[in-house]
Amino acid sequence: MVAQLRPQLIAAGVADDARLEAILRAIGRLPREAFVPEDQRAYAYAARPLPIGHDQTISDAFIQAYMTYRLELRPTDRVLEIGTGSGYQAAILGSLVSRVYTIEIVPELAERAARVLRRQGLANVSVRTGDGYRGWPDAAPFDAIIVTAGATRVPPDLVAQLRPGGRMILPFGPNWAELQMTLVRKSEDGRVTTSSCGRVFFVPFVGDAQSPEPGAPPVWGRRLPARCMEPLQPTSRPARRERGEGHRR
């Protein structure tokens, strides 16, 4: 799987650098079959999402590696993940940074992921059951945030929980439509800008994300002629509808 991922990621505009090497090394060490149900273990390394129960899936490793790369992670970072799902994305993050906080709205998935992460020795990953739209304020601020469901607005609470200089990546756009994988940056003086990293399909963020919020704009910051406008996927791989890790927010 790792041998296939490297050229696919490079074709999608990812640099073949030390950051990519660290991500692929982490993926190569993790037993992906440990994160999927027993009846899916034969397909654990397939290049497609797999069902993990409760109408949710584990995203394919290409999407997970791509989103991780775009966060520009450092070993000292504290990261928030919205949508634990199987726990595999949290395990990748936990292999790269000092601390990971991850939120899952389905209690059974949160409990299962926490068990698997403990068995893998990832004591630096904390799992919470809840609606991720509001984030994890008592653990903030975060250096990076990763969201694995389509959002019609950049969640204001998540922006507030980003440290100055922090980054957030999320699929952004209308419900049940083609989305832009969007990188959000918060400058040292608190200004927020967004840039597009390509096209993808994810199912929508649910829960509080779908409630109208007076005064909350659908887009925070301004769209840039982005630094990461490369296609999200190699041209031979069309955009897919991703359910993502714990997509039902």
Better-predicted residue by pLDDT, 30 or 248: 30
* Mean pLDDT score, 175-180: 66
CA distances 223 to 10, 94, 154, 167, 219, Å, are: 25, 30, 12, 15, 9
The pLDDT value recorded for residue 207 is 59
d(CA 109, CA 88): 12
The pLDDT value recorded for residue 224 is 34
- pLDDT above 70 for 66: yes
Residues 6+ away with beta carbon under 8 Å from 238: none
At 175, the pLDDT band (50, 70, 90 cuts) reads: low
d(CA 209, CA 154): 9
Better-predicted residue by pLDDT, 206 or 197: 197
Does residue 248 belong to any structural domain of this protein? Answer: no
Give catalytic residue positions: 59
Does residue 56 belong to any structural domain of this protein? Answer: yes
The predicted model scores a pTM of 0.84
Q: For residue 45, what are the domain limits?
A: 2-242
Q: How many domains, in total, are found in the chain? A: 1
At 229, the pLDDT band (50, 70, 90 cuts) reads: very low
The pLDDT value recorded for residue 233 is 44
Three-state secondary-structure class, residue 189: coil
Find residue 223's DSSP bridge partners: 194
Does residue 204 belong to any structural domain of this protein? Answer: yes
Does residue 182 belong to any structural domain of this protein? Answer: yes
Does residue 137 belong to any structural domain of this protein? Answer: yes
At 197, the pLDDT band (50, 70, 90 cuts) reads: confident
Residues 6+ away with beta carbon under 8 Å from 219: 153, 154, 172, 194
d(CA 60, CA 78): 24
CATH number for 46 = 3.40.50.150
pLDDT, tens digit, for every residue of 93-145? 999 999 999 999 999 999 999 999 999 999 999 999 999 989 999 999 999 99
Does residue 247 belong to any structural domain of this protein? Answer: no
Residues 6+ away with beta carbon under 8 Å from 122: 90, 91, 94, 95, 100
Q: Which residue has the tokens 């597009």?
A: 196
Does residue 47 belong to any structural domain of this protein? Answer: yes
Does residue 249 belong to any structural domain of this protein? Answer: no
Which of 90-99, 157-166, 180-189 is predicted least confidently? 180-189
The pLDDT value recorded for residue 57 is 84
Which of 49-58, 89-98, 149-158 is predicted least confidently? 149-158
The pLDDT value recorded for residue 235 is 31
Percent of the chain with pLDDT over 70: 78
